[in-house]
Amino acid sequence: MHSYDPGISPTLVIWVVPIPKGGARANLDEGTAELHVRNICAVFDAFTVENSLTPTHPLGNIASADIDSLDLEWSGVTRNIPGFRDAVNRFSGDFFEASATIKVTATTRKSTGHGFRFVSSATTKVHFAQFGRETNGVFFS
């Protein structure tokens, strides 16, 4: 199992990377969402989720990797959580529990890894995934 991520920011925000315009879409009325990205460079192959979630990143050896392609699609809403609000933590949103499919191709760089290339052999389907619209921090009202 591998965990590919762009690291942890100084504010401890994890797995954040800019997505090109048009790379993500959501239709909350239909209960669907999509994420399609190509060529996300210089993420880490931290090998385990535990390594990825440690602020002193990493616990072990990591390799620099490129996400060649990532296609993620949410659909089949099983639960709708509208109007969620947490005033103490300044967080609100409308959320949907659904199924999702994912297909990914990633390559570790030879300079920091072994040139290992991972290609999902088929689209993987998961039966619990969540997407939605949220408002937090300075945007919370």
Q: Domain residues of the chain, as ranges?
A: 4-139
pLDDT at position 73 is 94
The mean predicted confidence, pLDDT, of the chain is 81
CA 138 to chain centre: 23
pLDDT tens-digit map of 1-33 = 455 556 666 666 666 777 889 999 999 999 999
Using CB atoms within 10 Å of the CB of residue 140, give its burial: 0 to 12 exposed, 13 to 18 middle, 19+ buried.
middle
Q: Are 32 and 132 in contact (CB under 8 A)?
A: no
As beta bridge partners, residue 94 has 133
Q: Is 0.75 surpassed by the pTM of this model? A: no
Say which residue, 74 or 50, is predicted with more confidence: 74
User: DSSP state, 140?
Assistant: -
